[in-house]
Amino acid sequence: MIKKFNEFITEKKKLDVGKKLIDQIGKYKIYTVDGEKVRDLSKKDEEFGLSYSFKYFDIIPKDEIWIEDDVKPDERDILIDIELYKIRLIDEGMEKWDAYHKAEKMDKKLREKIEKNPEKTDEKGHEKIYKKEYCKIKDADVTVWLIDAEVARDKYKSDFMEGGHGYVYKWIPNDEIWIEDGLKDKEIPFILIHEFVERTLMKEKKMKYDDAHNIAARVEWCKRPNGVSKSDMENMTEDQALKLGNEFKK
């Protein structure tokens, strides 16, 4: 299935990703892009979210920085600064993922976090987090919320993107999954199936995050060509999630 998916991606490389030039800093051109289309085109071991540069993604041309078009304008400046910082670190000889983690610390300083994380996983998130309820996954008794991810990044974790759950983040209640508001409607179920499979593997199989995440990412990538609906997710069971997890183990 993964081989067929990669062949599908090769055919889709010609698709437009909605690039719009918004700035240029020195030789670096800054574009907003349709994040969903980028994720559809990415390799199976890549996960585009918020912003990245040509140093991290093969599909990003040299000297370009891409930012998701649903990121608020006042957050773009932070992301641009972070991407330029990572480029400089890599050019100075740092390994790219070491540069990524070092840049995380800079990101936190730029955002000037003002609140400590809640200590209990059953404590509700900050009141400004919640935008609206998306659905309930009945079998697991989980409520899926669309949330203001900028608030999450400012108050909890500066690199939070797309989605998360309480088995990864202490500040998300265990009976909730958070999905970033602003994603296109048809993409939300793909992010949700990733988070639900990952959550189920960690909860039921006591799997470590890295292992659960890698499996969930493969599930997401291989579901994208055929589609997943909101109704599919509302009716998905934990047993089905575990079966998917087992199917996509390496």
Domain boundary among 78, 111, 144: 111
User: How far is residue 112's CA from residue 164's CA, in Å, rounded to a whole number?
Assistant: 22
- Both 81 and 134 in a single domain? no
Region 218-236 average pLDDT: 90
Split into its structural domains, the chain has a count of 2
Question: Residue 138: its pLDDT value, please?
Answer: 94
Angle among Cα 83, 85, 90 to the nearest 5 degrees reads 95
Does a structural domain hold residue 107?
Answer: yes
- Examine the domain organization and report whether 170 and 73 are in the same domain: no
pLDDT for 178 beyond 80: yes
The stretch 139-143 carries a mean pLDDT of 96
State whether residue 16 is helix, strand or coil: coil
Q: What is the model's pTM? A: 0.62
Which range marks the domain in which residue 215 is found? 130-247
Q: Is the pLDDT of residue 187 over 50?
A: yes
Q: Which two tokens stand for residue 76?
A: 């773009």
Per-residue tokens: 180: 């970033």
Q: Give the torsion through C-alpha atoms of 78, 83, 89, 92, to 10 deg.
A: -130
Would 2 be classed as within a structural domain? no
Strands (E), 158-232: 163-165, 176-180
19 inside domain: yes
Judged against a pLDDT cut of 80, whether residue 15 lies above it is answered with: no
Of the candidates 92, 17, 79, 71, the residue with the CA atom closest to the CA atom of residue 53: 79
Q: Given this model, what pLDDT does residue 20 score?
A: 92
Query: What confidence category does residue 46 fall into, taking pLDDT thresholds of 50, 70 and 90?
Result: low
Lowest mean pLDDT among 106-110, 177-181, 199-203, 206-210: 106-110
